[in-house]
A and B are shown apart, each in its own frame.
Chain A
Amino acid sequence: MTLTERLREKISQAFYNHGLFCASYPIPIILFTGFCILACCYPLLKLPLPGTGPVEFSTPVKDYSPPPSDSDRKQGELSEQPEWYVGAPVAYIQQIFVKSSVSPWHKNLLAVDVFRSPLSRAFQLVEEIRNHVLRDSSGTRSLEEVCLQVTDLLPGLRKLRSLLPEHGCLLLSPGNFWQNDRERFYADPDIIGTIHQHEPKTLQTSATLKDLLFGVPGKYSGVSLYTRRRMVSYTITLVFQHYHASFLGSLRARLMLLHPSPNCSLRAESLVHVHFKEEIGVAELIPLVTTYIILFAYIYFSTRKIDMVKSKWGLALAAVVTVLSSLLMSVGLCTLFGLTPTLNGGEIFPYLVVVIGLENVLVLTKSVVSTPVDLEVKLRIAQGLSSESWSIMKNMATELGIILVGYFTLVPAIQEFCLFAVVGLVSDFFLQMLFFTTVLSIDIRRMELADLNKRLPAEACLPPSKPVGRPARFERHPAARPSTPHTITLQPSSFRNLRLPKRLRVIYFLARTRLAQRLIMAGTVVWISILLYTDPAGLRTYLTAQVTEQSPLGDGALPPLPVPARHADPAFAIFPPDAPKLPENQTLPGGPPERAGAAEGVGDGPVPEVTWGPEDEELWRKLSFRHWPTLFSYYNITLAKRYVSLLPVIPVTLRLNPREALEGRRPQDSRSSWAAPGPRPGELWEAESLGPGGAPAHGDVTLYKVAALGLAAGIVLVLLMLCLYRVLCPRNYGQPGGGPARRRRGELPCDDYGYAPPETEIVPLVLRGHLMDIECLASDGMLLVSCCLAGHVCVWDAQTGDCLTRIPRPGRRRDSTGSALETQESWERLSEGDKAGLEELGDSPPPRRRPAGPPPPARFRDQPDLSCLIDTNFAARPRSPEPAQPEPRHRAGCGRARDPPGYDFGRLVQRVYPEEGRAAGPGPALRPPSPAPPLAPEDEGGPAEKGSPPLSWAPSADGSVWSLELQGSLIVLGRSSGRLEVWDAIEGVLCCSSEEVSSGITALVFLDKRIVAARLNGSLDFFSLETHTALSPLQFRGTPGRGSCPSSPVYSSSDAVLCHLTHTVPCAHQKPITALRAAAGRLVTGSQDHTLRVFRLEDSCCLFTLQGHSGAITTVYIDQTMVLASGGQDGAICLWDVLSGSRVSHMFAHRGDVTSLTCTTSCVISSGLDDLINIWDRSTGIKLYSIQQDLGCGASLGVIADNLLVTGGQGCVSFWDLNFGDLLQTVYLGKSSEAQPARQILVLDNAAIVCNFGSELSLVYVPSVLEKLD
């Protein structure tokens, strides 16, 4: 055991040192590794390229003997002979290459004559070859003895039975089309038709029957009416079983003697052996493809786990490169040491990859990224390596052991596989240690740098603290430059472009230069030109033919009767005297003129000369590479992994004179034309032209197909490019102001701190009417409701800024005294609660919400005048950290004073005293607790004018308003007393209320007839609103007994609004609910118990409890797209997937609480107690930039139209371009001397902004601002 321990320690130490080393010299190590890889892969150059194409090897004809079989093969031959060159070939193939022409050409010869008589000579040649017998000392030897005897064709080829030889020598010639029967040939009216009858109708690359029998590629055969060369080439293919040199020699000599080729320069020296690889059929392809699919799935699932690095793709690529190059190295090394791979590389490759695996790489990455981030990169790498060293070594030892066991199976294939795997494993380990580790270190360093650049602003204004996790890195890089308030904190100008994500920069560059379009254009042009150049469909030949046809040789008035064979009497020996008339006869009006033209054009052409060039020597190369396998496969002989030897061709030149050509004409032609001169010649022409007609028609079809395919391919290509372009280019490309021009405007990013910002001043609509600071704001676009600390609610017209209603009505404070005592009691209870809360405040971090304590004994009953006022303030005060309407808060830990810290009792009391004096008596100062406001309004006359002088105020007896929502014309108020009130915003009357639970309502959601109230005690109440148009005179007064009756007290007016309690979730959270949002049918609550819960809105069913914050939740955001973001007191932001309840990302955003959070389609915007506004990329969770806010304005932000951010400042608002982080404009509201910090910004639907400047609101219309921007 101790040995293991020691070993472990040693390994760990070694890995640690190695990690340090790698991280210290990354570039040299990578270069060295690359050199190693290349060096090890060098032997691979000798290996044949994988593929199924045939491989050639030539040996001289002289002294040729078949290579010995494998057993007696000498080692010395290894170098010059390919390894497949063992044993006798499957067959020796002798091609007798016939070139024939009619010479001299005469005008009265037909196009058909070009090939009719040359082809007829094939029969004669075949006869000669078949009858060739070698007589020498050893006796006689005929062709039958040496040739390859074939048996039946495959059963599937019955239709070819008449064309291909069976049960005999494999001898192919064009004569096979006519069953080697000369009579059939002469009887055939349509030679070309016969030849082409077995041509496939579709495009096909493999050998066709015509190719097989002619032995030359189709376009070289010259069997066509439109050839200009008038030379016909074909081969007679002989297949020998054995190599019999003397027989072959005699055959060659005899043929050359019979048909001499005077200017033949063929050397005929070498024998070419062609080795065919194993062919891969569909049946073999499917398992292969399956293994590759599994391989890719494996790689995908493996690399998906790479996380927490700068570039996931880069590292995944590095991992794959590591494995692949280790495989290459392994093959290279094995080759170097003399082991040649015999296995099919493509087949075993996936298994090798799977055996070697990506696991180590991933383990390494995981281990390194999980080291403490505040360490130096070197140390992180070293620690990560050393912590995983033992498991890596153990795994490797295990795998090596397994593979070694495999080696002892003594199966050659498995042994070879194991050998490769072992070498691959070792080289993989080598590469992991040197290559991947180094890449990882570079990546981690890059991440640190990038993070540094991004995080600089955040740390700039922050005192160092000790948060856990990633932010710890900040401490190591203390802020270099102090950031000025209200300045977007940017890097120095040289780093300016870093702000933009790289991706965006590339896209903008592409968009600016229109690179994509140009590339598409250039690509299309190149593609078309390549298409024309390579001429895949014989386009040029076709065009040439077209031109020839249209050549004006054919006369306009042509005689209709073509009588080509009128004088085709086989008996006549010389040209008939009327032969020159023939063209006139041929080109009759009925006949197609171009045919005549072709014939005449041919007639005028030069005398064809049969030449033999070096290209003729190996014309078989131009055949399809599947030519021979196809031929042999017809007889169920496979060439896979075997070879055939091609003997040098025997050239045969046939020179026919015109007379012979005429002799070759079909006798039937002349007979039929003699018999019926009228219609028959037409038919004859028809018949003759069928062949030519057939071939070009076939060519046409091919051409059209190619053209259609090409067109389709082009369209697909262009569409693909378009799609790519769409994907790559941003949506806002082309929008005015989205481009760089606008960015330039705001490049100088600040206001009055040294820069010259584009600043303007406008006079906003100032809404005055609140005595104290405004706490809650709500709006539905038309109306704006605000509520101040004193519990006064004002309803404003969002368009004009008129004050429509006040709740409670001014001047109606003293009218009800009936319940004063009761009310007062409750107030005192509250005040006690407040005091308790205050005491808590002193020693503990400030609670978000004061828990409603049990009612203490009323001790201040004798001092009603002051206590109630102080109570009010206390009651109102602690709700300042309302997360839904964030406010700058004061925290003990935060050293800087932003607002007057603490509770300024003195000021409040001073403010209260004069009012007390005016109020004449302490008791009546209390608001009646009546849920029913008087129906006799005193100031029915109209809405209070805007900016009306502050009326005397008193706290609402029902407790202060903690939350407020507005929808339609209904205002929902949640009070600290736990009372829920629904007011009519226009009338200013209370519609209904509910006060079953005394726990204060901390947050409200009002979504189409549904109200959800979250309470201090952590419970959730779901109410539904019902509107009855029918007048219902009943008025239920809610009994104070809580929970006794499920229906809440109802107030009925002309259209009664009823508020039903539908569900209660009694213990949604253990601690007070601090945040509540609803959207998309979901309700999200955030609580001080560090958790969030997601409820379904309709049935209040709890779907998830989301845990992930380490502090109380302060703010929650959810929108219709089901994105859920939450921020907590721990300064973290979590993004969640509402569908699965899983955490998508987690970002350490702020020092101190996150005060507000909002999302756009691409980013998340958060503000914190540190007066920073951070903008995050929503998908990656990477911080894009941050904005430093004025003191006390931290939470004032709003988003207009998804790309414009509004932030508040000292008496001003600033507009930022969200995409770039550029300050667009700063607008001062009023005189800057009396500037107050904008605590809150509410963006209305009609492009208006409401700024909360303490006790007054400013209504700014953005269009007036925006139009000045451009």
Chain B
Amino acid sequence: MPRLHDHLWSRPCAGAARPLSRAPRAARPGGMIAAAPRAPGPAPAGPSGRAGGRHRHLVQRGLVLFLVGVVLALVLNLLQVQRNVTLFPDEVIATAFSSAWWVPPCCGTAAAVVGLLYPCMDRHLGEPHKFKREWASVMRCIAVFVGINHASAKLDFANNVQLSLTLAALSLGLWWTFDRSRSGLGLGVTIAVLATLITQFLVYSGVYQYTSPDFLYIRSWLPCIFFSGGVTVGNIGRQLAMGVPEKPHSD
């Protein structure tokens, strides 16, 4: 359970928000530890002789997902910082990319964990994900996700309820267009809820703050972003998991 908690709470950064500064530091090892025992998890499912290869490919996948998470975090941060949606303390702003150093690694870790979790869950549930399994669709999904972030950061809405509803509809549309699996929906919702709770906690403990909180301490659209982020990363993870098994033969 702590493992689950760790990776899920570091998840928020992949969306748009950034978790705390000290807590992530403590939690990042946790995230790593979480990823490490998870790695051999799917291995038994593969051919027994190829366990080593699968293990390696799991690490590779994790690495790719980590990089994706880092890049997305940086890019989306920039979008948010432009609009002064979030405020960091001054000394944090002075660091690279006008954001805290711990945000990208956290997002990367979270992305890796979520991206590995999705195919793993598919396998355990025994319902392989077959809908639109191709890279073009994944790219489309990422583009839509960035677009949702873009909209949340740049558009001028009349009020926050409208913004939140719009984003919720967009997120559901994203799930419907690119995922359509019950497991994906469930996992996405879980991620969104947990991540929102963690963000609330972080803001409450004063690590950072939002400029105009309208939902307790945070912005009300945050769960939508977390949800669509989870779906997107899960999509990438599934595609990676599908693309990789062809390779193990090559040595």
Chains A and B form a bound pair:
yes
**Chain A interface residues toward B at CB < 8 A:** 283-284, 286-287, 290-291, 294-295, 297-298, 301-302, 305, 347, 350-351, 354, 357-359, 402, 405-406, 409-414, 1103-1104, 1139-1142
Besides the known contacts A294-B143, A297-B139, A1140-B249, 11 further A-B residue pairs in the complex with CB atoms under 8 A apart: A283-B82, A283-B98, A286-B78, A287-B75, A294-B142, A301-B134, A357-B140, A410-B162, A413-B156, A1140-B246, A1140-B250
| A and B contact pairs by CB, cutoff 8 A, 14 listed | A283-B78, A287-B79, A290-B71, A294-B139, A301-B138, A351-B144, A351-B147, A405-B173, A409-B166, A410-B158, A411-B158, A411-B162, A412-B156, A414-B151
B140→A305 contact, CB < 8 A: no
- 10 closest A-B pairs (Cβ-Cβ)? A298-B139, A301-B136, A301-B135, A302-B136, A354-B143, A1139-B250, A351-B147, A409-B166, A294-B143, A290-B75
B169→A409 contact, CB < 8 A: yes
What chain B residues lie within 8 Å of A297 (beta carbons)?
135, 139
What chain B residues lie within 8 Å of A409 (beta carbons)?
162, 165-166, 169
- B150 interface residue, CB < 8 Å from A? yes
B146's contact among A294, A302, A402, by CB below 8 Å, is which?
Answer: A294
What chain A residues lie within 8 Å of B142 (beta carbons)?
294
B169→A405 contact, CB < 8 A: yes
A414→B166 contact, CB < 8 A: yes
A297 to B138 CA separation, bound complex (whole angstroms): 10
B81→A283 contact, CB < 8 A: yes
B143's contact among A295, A359, A405, A1139, by CB below 8 Å, is which?
Answer: A295
What chain A residues lie within 8 Å of B130 (beta carbons)?
none
A406 to B79 CA separation, bound complex (whole angstroms): 22
CB B45 to nearest CB in A, in angstroms, measures 20
Contact string against A for B residues 119-141, beta-carbon threshold 8 Å, 1 for contact and 0 otherwise = 00000000000000011101110
A1104 to B248 CA separation, bound complex (whole angstroms): 11
A347 to B165 CA separation, bound complex (whole angstroms): 23
CB B237 to nearest CB in A, in angstroms, measures 17
Known A-B contacts A411-B155, A1104-B249; A291 and B139 likewise in contact (beta carbons under 8 Å): no
What chain B residues lie within 8 Å of A295 (beta carbons)?
143
What chain A residues lie within 8 Å of B140 (beta carbons)?
298, 354, 357
CB A285 to nearest CB in B, in angstroms, measures 9
A290's contact among B138, B146, B151, B163, by CB below 8 Å, is which?
Answer: B146
Known A-B contacts A286-B78, A287-B75, A413-B156; A351 and B143 likewise in contact (beta carbons under 8 Å): yes
A1104 to B249 CA separation, bound complex (whole angstroms): 8
CB A635 to nearest CB in B, in angstroms, measures 20
B155→A414 contact, CB < 8 A: yes
A305→B134 contact, CB < 8 A: yes
Residue of B81, B143, B246 most packed against chain A (CB within 10 A): B143
B247→A1140 contact, CB < 8 A: yes
- B157 interface residue, CB < 8 Å from A? yes
A347's contact among B71, B150, B177, B247, by CB below 8 Å, is which?
Answer: B150
What chain B residues lie within 8 Å of A298 (beta carbons)?
136, 139-140, 143
Closest to A352 in B: B147
A402 to B178 CA separation, bound complex (whole angstroms): 14
What chain B residues lie within 8 Å of A287 (beta carbons)?
75-76, 78-79, 146, 150
A291's contact among B135, B146, B156, B165, by CB below 8 Å, is which?
Answer: B146
CB B152 to nearest CB in A, in angstroms, measures 11
A405 to B140 CA separation, bound complex (whole angstroms): 20
Closest to A1104 in B: B249
A413's contact among B81, B143, B155, by CB below 8 Å, is which?
Answer: B155
What chain A residues lie within 8 Å of B134 (beta carbons)?
301, 305
CB A297 to nearest CB in B, in angstroms, measures 5
Residue of A284, A287, A405, A1103 most packed against chain B (CB within 10 A): A287
Classify the secondary structure of A's interface with B: helix
Q: Interface residues of B, CB < 8 Å — how many?
A: 38
A411 to B166 CA separation, bound complex (whole angstroms): 9
Closest to B165 in A: A409
CB A1102 to nearest CB in B, in angstroms, measures 11
What chain B residues lie within 8 Å of A413 (beta carbons)?
151, 155-156
**Chain B interface residues toward A at CB < 8 A:** 71, 74-76, 78-79, 81-82, 98, 134-136, 138-140, 142-144, 146-147, 150-151, 155-158, 162-163, 165-166, 169-170, 173, 177, 246-247, 249-250
Closest to B173 in A: A402
What chain A residues lie within 8 Å of B165 (beta carbons)?
409
CB B138 to nearest CB in A, in angstroms, measures 8
CB A405 to nearest CB in B, in angstroms, measures 7
Residue of B136, B155, B157 most packed against chain A (CB within 10 A): B136
A27 to B177 CA separation, bound complex (whole angstroms): 37
Known A-B contacts A287-B75, A414-B166; A358 and B155 likewise in contact (beta carbons under 8 Å): no
A1193 to B177 CA separation, bound complex (whole angstroms): 60
A1143 to B48 CA separation, bound complex (whole angstroms): 25
Closest to A355 in B: B144
A350 to B98 CA separation, bound complex (whole angstroms): 26
Residue of A284, A409, A410, A1104 most packed against chain B (CB within 10 A): A409
A853 to B151 CA separation, bound complex (whole angstroms): 76
A305→B156 contact, CB < 8 A: no
B157→A411 contact, CB < 8 A: yes
What chain B residues lie within 8 Å of A302 (beta carbons)?
136
A295 to B134 CA separation, bound complex (whole angstroms): 15
Known A-B contacts A301-B134, A301-B139; A354 and B147 likewise in contact (beta carbons under 8 Å): yes
B146→A1103 contact, CB < 8 A: no
Residue of B134, B139, B144, B151 most packed against chain A (CB within 10 A): B139
A176 to B156 CA separation, bound complex (whole angstroms): 42
What chain B residues lie within 8 Å of A357 (beta carbons)?
140
A1154 to B173 CA separation, bound complex (whole angstroms): 53
A410 to B78 CA separation, bound complex (whole angstroms): 27
What chain A residues lie within 8 Å of B146 (beta carbons)?
287, 290-291, 294
A301 to B144 CA separation, bound complex (whole angstroms): 16
A284→B82 contact, CB < 8 A: yes
CB B238 to nearest CB in A, in angstroms, measures 15
A399 to B72 CA separation, bound complex (whole angstroms): 26
Closest to B151 in A: A414
Closest to A281 in B: B82
Closest to A303 in B: B136
A284 to B177 CA separation, bound complex (whole angstroms): 28
B136's contact among A291, A305, A411, A1142, by CB below 8 Å, is which?
Answer: A305
A69 to B140 CA separation, bound complex (whole angstroms): 41
Known A-B contacts A287-B150, A409-B166, A414-B155; A358 and B136 likewise in contact (beta carbons under 8 Å): yes
A359 to B151 CA separation, bound complex (whole angstroms): 24
A357 to B138 CA separation, bound complex (whole angstroms): 13
What chain A residues lie within 8 Å of B173 (beta carbons)?
402, 405
A291→B78 contact, CB < 8 A: no
A414 to B170 CA separation, bound complex (whole angstroms): 11
What chain B residues lie within 8 Å of A1142 (beta carbons)?
246
Closest to A289 in B: B75
A243 to B91 CA separation, bound complex (whole angstroms): 43
A347 to B177 CA separation, bound complex (whole angstroms): 22
What chain A residues lie within 8 Å of B158 (beta carbons)?
410-411
CB B103 to nearest CB in A, in angstroms, measures 15
CB B143 to nearest CB in A, in angstroms, measures 4
Closest to A409 in B: B166
Residue of A286, A294, A405, A410 most packed against chain B (CB within 10 A): A294
Closest to B177 in A: A402
CB A1099 to nearest CB in B, in angstroms, measures 12
What chain B residues lie within 8 Å of A283 (beta carbons)?
78, 81-82, 98
CB B169 to nearest CB in A, in angstroms, measures 7
A414 to B139 CA separation, bound complex (whole angstroms): 22
A880 to B136 CA separation, bound complex (whole angstroms): 51
What chain B residues lie within 8 Å of A351 (beta carbons)?
143-144, 147, 150
A1141→B249 contact, CB < 8 A: yes
A1139 to B250 CA separation, bound complex (whole angstroms): 5
What chain A residues lie within 8 Å of B170 (beta carbons)?
406
A412 to B154 CA separation, bound complex (whole angstroms): 12
A33 to B177 CA separation, bound complex (whole angstroms): 31
CB B12 to nearest CB in A, in angstroms, measures 19
Residue of B147, B155, B165, B250 most packed against chain A (CB within 10 A): B147
